[in-house]
Amino acid sequence: MGNKRTQDGVVAARRERRSPDGRAGTVNPKFLAEREERINQNPLVAMNPKQKDYIELIDTKATIIATGYAGTSKTYIPTVIACDKYRTGQIDKIVFTRPNISNSKSLGYFGGDLIAKMENWLMPVMNILRDRLGPEVVEIAIKRGDIEFVPMEVVKGYSAENCFFIVDEAEDLTYDEAKKIVTRQGKNCKMVLAGDISQSELKEKSGLKALIDIANEYGFIDLGLVDFNNKGDIVRGEACKNWIIGFERWEGRE
């Protein structure tokens, strides 16, 4: 009974908030109040000044790039915000992609149904989605296409509208991939690219670095940029921070 009620609620919510032309519309005030109350009971709280800046950039900019150390919530923060926007009807879907680097597999490689493929391809993100939206809602949303994982090889033909688009591991985007992704942005599309350029296999040829350089060169590109470049920005834990310090000393970067 619980599963049926959850599914009906998600389906009804998607119908309620669509306007006649198919764009994101208005959620029924009763459901909206309930969802906003759940969010208020578990708000996203910045753990340091950089995270506060990041949250504000996501609120005010259409395109945001977050760079810097692992364990700084570069992916966690936009995923939580995307979940809250989806739940309150501000967007129609949440979209994820990541580059297929030499030591990783394309989405098509993995066996199983769609949800099993997602589990393998972007496991950390799946955990955040389930924690914020609930496992049943996530499963239904994936099956309906409201949560979508787009392989890099099909990004070129994708049109991103009324959505929150998150690019994980963006440091390993090639120049052409980065160009394809940012030019997918349509109406009411928030795009966040998260990555650690220092860990890029492409080094100076990283497409993420190119996007930053282009935005810095031409002031008309409205890009929000936050760099978690201080070890004090790491919130995952002391073990994570200490390993990063150790690796940097070992590699002669500190």
Contact indicator for 57, 226 with CB cutoff of 8 Å: yes
- Triad 151, 156, 162: Cα angle to 5°: 80
For residues 115-129, average pLDDT: 77
Question: Which residue, among 41, 71, 61, 43, has the nearest Cα to 243 in the 3D structure?
Answer: 71
Say whether 197 sits in a helix, a strand or coil: helix
Class of domain 38-250: alpha beta
**Residue 144 backbone phi and psi in degrees, to 5:** -85, -10
> How far apart, in whole angstroms, are the C-alpha atoms of residue 208 and residue 15?
37
- Per-residue b or e along 231-248, where b marks 16 or more CB atoms closer than 10 Å to that residue's CB: bebbbeeeebbeebeeee
For residues 9-24, average pLDDT: 46
Q: Which parts of 24-182 are beta strand (E)?
A: 63-68, 93-97, 147-149, 163-167
**Each residue's pLDDT tens digit, 171-201:** 999 999 999 999 999 999 999 999 999 888 8
For residues 226-249, average pLDDT: 92
Q: Per the structure block, which two tokens stand in for 148?
A: 């979508």
Give the pLDDT band of residue 100 (cuts 50, 70, 90). Answer: confident
Which DSSP state fits 108? G
What local confidence, expressed as pLDDT, does residue 252 receive?
84
Taking the domains of the chain in order of start, what are their residue ranges?
38-250
Give percent of the chain with pLDDT exceeding 90. Answer: 57
For residues 67-75, average pLDDT: 95
Say whether 184 sits in a helix, a strand or coil: coil
Contact indicator for 153, 176 with CB cutoff of 8 Å: no
